[in-house]
Amino acid sequence: MSDGNTFIREDPWRIFRIMAEFVDSFQTMSQVGPAVTIFGSARTKPTDKYYRAAMEIGKGLAKHNLAVVTGGGPGIMEAANKGAAHAGGKSVGLNIELPHEQNGNRFANIPIHFHYFFARKVCFVKYSIGFVFMPGGFGTLDELFEVLTLVQTQRIPQFPLILFGSEHWKGLLAWMKARLEKECNISPGDLDLLKVTDDVEEVITIIREYERRVGPPGTLPLAFA
């Protein structure tokens, strides 16, 4: 446990570092325009079908002038950034400093580096108008439930929340329906906030329809506005 002297020596400076991360990232992301965040495993190999799908999703979004945001690492993140970059689009990588797994990929043409997970999470959500969740691990599930909770509680607009890969997600969805919904831990209809698909073009269509419905880029809603 830290004592008062430790707080005086360390914590005020830590607060300034946190503030600096928010200021730098907000300043950069505010210039990017409408964006879509793609989450997924850092461990997915280039030969995997989900890697190829993430790359096509990134490419399709970029062709429609939507920036692609990822965690900036390898795997699914690399694939989505690669697709966006190859299409000549804005490819954002919000990279986090980790002792294992996370090295920034070379396809993020707008890299932003974070030390604090929570600052990075805010940046994922604040500037996106849609979210795509590819197969992943704890980090992907963490982001899924965090964004889903924000939409469910109306803290952010009802952005498209797309689960890509029905085979991967069906067990979790079945459990949530059988346990969470049946036991009234969530409300009827809450699971309808999630859209499941295996079709790259459907992902693009869902997000573009939302963009058209809410208005031109200057009027698109942002989280935590």
> What are the tens digits of pLDDT across the range 152-178?
999 999 999 999 999 999 999 999 999
Query: What is the per-residue DSSP string for the chain?
Result: ---HHHHHHHHHHHHHHHHHHHHHHHHHHTTT-SEEEEE--TT--TTSHHHHHHHHHHHHHHHTT-EEEE-SSSTHHHHHHHHHHHTT--EEEEEE--SSS----TT-SEEEEES-HHHHHHHHHHTEEEEEE-S--HHHHHHHHHHHHHHHTTSS----EEEE-HHHHHHHHHHIIIIIITTTSS-TTGGGGEEEES-HHHHHHHHHHHHHHH-SGGG---TT-
What value does the mean pLDDT take over residues 139-161? 97
**Which CATH fold would you assign to the domain 4-216?**
Rossmann fold (3.40.50)
The yes-or-no verdict on residue 3 having pLDDT over 60 is no
Whole-model pTM? 0.91
> For the chain, which residues make up each domain, given as ranges?
4-216
> What are the tens digits of pLDDT across the range 44-77?
999 999 999 999 999 999 999 999 999 999 999 9
